[in-house]
Amino acid sequence: MDRGLYHRTNKNPARRHSGRLSVVAAMTFLFVIGPAFGQAILEGERFHPVTAKQGMVATSHTLATDVALEVLKKGGNAVDAAVTAGFALAVTQPRSGNIGGGGFMLISKGDGSEPEAIDYREKAPAAATESMFQDESGNVVRDRSRFTHLAAGVPGTVAGLALALERHGTISLKQALAPAITLAREGFIVPLRFTEGLEQARDRLERWPATRTTFYKEDGRAWQPGERFRQPELADTLQRIADNGVKGFYEGKTATLITEEMARHGGLITREDLINYRPAIRTPVHGTYRGYDIYSMSPPSSGGTHIVQILNILEGFPMAQFGHNSADAIHHMAEAMKLAYADRSKYLGDTDFVDVPLTGLTSKGYAEELRKSIDPDKARPADDINPGQPAAWESPETTHFSVVDKWGNAVSNTYTINFSYGSGITVKGAGFLLNNEMDDFSAKPGVPNAYGLIGGEANKVEPGKRMLSSMSPTIVRKDGQNVLVTGSPGGSRIITTTLQVILNVIDHGMNIQTAVSAPRMHHQWLPDEIRVEQGISPDSIHLLEERGHTIVHGSAMGAIQSIMVSEDGVLHGGADPRRSTSSAMGY
């Protein structure tokens, strides 16, 4: 990656509230979302971002942020730091960080060249079949795609991170792995969230002896806050990758451990599946919104497509005049979200297998047609909404982290093992959890998955196919310069979480910490309800109900880690307080 060609000349009036400027950044303060939270947001700039001049890292775990920032301080670039963070999170945050899953990385150089996407999503094994999650009568067997060895897709994380480093990094894979190996071998002090997660998932995790041995003490107790947790088997697995490159995972001892695990329990992943796995280089989805360029992940992620689609629809409405989280703003966002998620159910899938009408879905003309269907005063029932006709406009528990270096290079990365702790199955002798991403396929067209998302023929199970995702690593540019790096975990809510941070910055002029912290809403077409976090005005909720919306009060949505670059080149980090271990650090 060219590390020196970066000139900050962008004019960005939307960032008039850029927070306090300082050369040395500290961790963001964390807070609990409470009854006064919404009022604090309405008062404006109470939540201040971390600021820095040379480099910034925002991840969901302090230790990962710390080791990635050290890479930047030693002269590494954003990709070097991102890959280091990715492996560190596999150690410190096993419920979502991973080497047993997959994801997407978006890379945007500081020289203004076109961004690149690396698709390291998992793939269906060669022996997978369209009906593998149905019984003899054709009914979906729900837990088969979630909590069995059949639930695992061929992991892509190791290959994807290695490819990013090979193409754009300046350090070796061995150097990027070194901090993770140390954290696994020597251990780290357990935070409260780690203990709570193991207790909450105990029934599911204790079913598997290797998982019980890896994550619980000999007497069965969970590791407690303040205690040191070590993972020697994971350290050995990571060391094999450091010594032998990607072959240290997809071949040799680790591959043998994976295939033996599959053979013992009726899983499908074979040695050939592992050897044949390859990440893919994709062209990011691109759109514009009020003069900003929006780059996000292309299929097999649906995230970028529908972020652009929803922004296109909302561009025709005065979102800033509506006011942040007003009834008008939430109503129009919900109506636009319904239309996009309806299209998602029919058209989105792996473009290596199906034709996705991307140009149509992301076109301004199609958005204009969809916009005409939105009644400003009345909710449209989901049952009245069907997927549209984008072809007419054709000419076809997850973790996120963001990094910006001193040359202006930016990385937005989201990866996952799907559920918290994935399938709950640890590969015996290897120390890492397997994903349950096969649930992201349509087990049967029209039947919702674990997140309530409806899928169709485009996302049916096929050998070697990548399952559809909502992961939405996103980079916003202005006049060719990177100005916002963002993304989130959250299943089906990833798209709407990322969307709202973009709106908060561009339409509502928030600093990045306020934009990240503000209360969120979500609608995904079916079920026909608006889910809201605490902090949305009761008056707004009442007005929405009068328009015909069903409002559901839910728990926190997403854990978005973001970085914004101000006009004078100062970096502003926003770590999401919804995840207690989140941190943004810079120097």
Per the annotation, where are the binding residues for L-glutamate?
A: 121, 416-418, 440, 469-470, 491
Q: Cβ(21)–Cβ(570) under 8 Å?
A: yes
**Region for residue 226 given its phi and psi (left: phi exceeds 0; alpha: psi -120 to 50; beta: otherwise):** left
CA 270 – CA 154 distance, rounded (Å): 9
Q: Cβ(402)–Cβ(410) under 8 Å?
A: yes
In this structure, the strands spanning 551-553 and 530-532 are parallel
- Counted residue by residue, the chain has a size of 587
Query: Which residues, in sequence order, are CB contacts of 99 under 8 Å at separation 6+?
Result: 87, 90, 155, 157, 158, 237, 238, 241, 249, 432
**Region for residue 112 given its phi and psi (left: phi exceeds 0; alpha: psi -120 to 50; beta: otherwise):** left
Given the structure tokens 């697995």, which residue do they identify?
Answer: 237
CA 49 – CA 487 distance, rounded (Å): 16
Could you tell me the two tokens for 183? Answer: 């954290």
The residues annotated with a catalytic role in the active site are 398
Q: Cβ(549)–Cβ(530) under 8 Å?
A: yes
Residue 238 φ then ψ, to 5°: -65, -35
Report the sign of the C-alpha dihedral through residues 573, 558, 374, 341, in that order. Answer: positive
CA 114 – CA 92 distance, rounded (Å): 33
Q: What is the dihedral of CA 153, 154, 158, 164, to 10 degrees?
A: -90
Could you tell me which of 244, 319, 375 has the C-alpha nearest to residue 507? 319
Could you tell me the two tokens for 112? Answer: 């203004």
Q: Calculate the alpha carbon distances from 535 to 15, 505, 517, 556, 568 in Å.
A: 23, 19, 11, 11, 33
Q: Calculate the alpha carbon distances from 23 to 20, 54, 56, 563 in Å.
A: 10, 8, 11, 15
Q: Cβ(85)–Cβ(401) under 8 Å?
A: yes
CA 277 – CA 296 distance, rounded (Å): 24
Residue 156 φ then ψ, to 5°: -120, -5
Quickly count: other Cβ atoms within 10 Å of residue 196's Cβ.
13
Q: Cβ(463)–Cβ(492) under 8 Å?
A: no
CA 473 – CA 399 distance, rounded (Å): 11
Could you tell me the two tokens for 169? Answer: 């990094």
Quickly count: other Cβ atoms within 10 Å of residue 21's Cβ.
12
Coil/strand/helix, residue 574: strand
